[in-house]
Amino acid sequence: MSLTFDTLREANRRRQLEWPGNDEIDTAFRTIEIAGEGGELVAAVEEHLLASLNALAVAGHLGKVSEQMKKYLRAQRGIKGSKADLEAIGDEIGDTIIALDLLAAGLGIDLGQVAARKFNKTSAKYELHTRLPEGDEEEAPSHCEGCVKPINEGDPYFPYGDGVDACGDCAPLISDIIHNNEEMLGDEELSPEDREDHRDSLALMKKRLEEEGDVKVTFPHP
């Protein structure tokens, strides 16, 4: 299964939350950013003569996105001149993605794979935790609910149940589990079996907290 746009959007959302200075990024900044990516792309494929027409097409569409964004921001800011709406911008973004896929196909590049690989390189470079599953990790038995990172056999993880897992970085602390158990025990509609489970867990976690301090609770993934 290849990377989906939904997965990419969610990983972007999560990573922007941890990206220092994210509050200062607006659509004008993004517009300049994509124009810059167009320039980088043309430079990167210069040597591939066969792909150069497709590369120019991508750069051309990126330029049109910037052009429509200029007209959109102009309208928003009350500057005189021709205007564009979100549909016009969406059309150009759609064209850009289609042209990118044609370019990538010509070079034998898997779009989902390179997007995930570069996303993860950038996360590693800036020491951010959010990761996307890469192609060769698709078979991982589970993925972290918090940061989307694959959880492989033997990796530390915490199972929340119902198939919801957390990786070693995102696993809860002993104090988190104690807090959760205490909260659950306060629920008057809790079944007697569940009540007993939470009491057992609470006792066990309090003992571990005394012995180990407040560490993350993980198990090796089976």
Distances (CA, A) of 162 to 46, 98, 145, 159, 166: 49, 37, 12, 8, 12
* Piece of 2-10, 70-78, 98-106, 169-177 that binds Zn ion (CB under 5 A): 169-177
Work out whether 100 is an interface residue with Zn ion (CB under 5 A). Answer: no
Spatial separation of the C-alpha atoms in residues 176 and 104, rounded to whole Å: 45
The count of other CB atoms within 10 Å of the CB of residue 205 is 20
Report, in Å, the least distance between residue 134 CB and Zn ion: 15
CB nearer Zn ion, residue 112 or residue 150: 150
Enter the tokens of residue 106: 């010509």
One of 128, 147, 151, 177 touching Zn ion (CB under 5 A): 147
One of 59, 89, 144, 174 touching Zn ion (CB under 5 A): 144
Work out whether 93 is an interface residue with Zn ion (CB under 5 A). Answer: no
One of 93, 132, 170, 174 touching Zn ion (CB under 5 A): 170
Q: Where are the alpha helices (DSSP H) in the chain?
A: 5-18, 27-44, 52-76, 86-106, 111-125, 174-185, 192-212
CB nearer Zn ion, residue 54 or residue 218: 218
* Piece of 31-39, 66-74, 161-169, 188-196 that binds Zn ion (CB under 5 A): 161-169
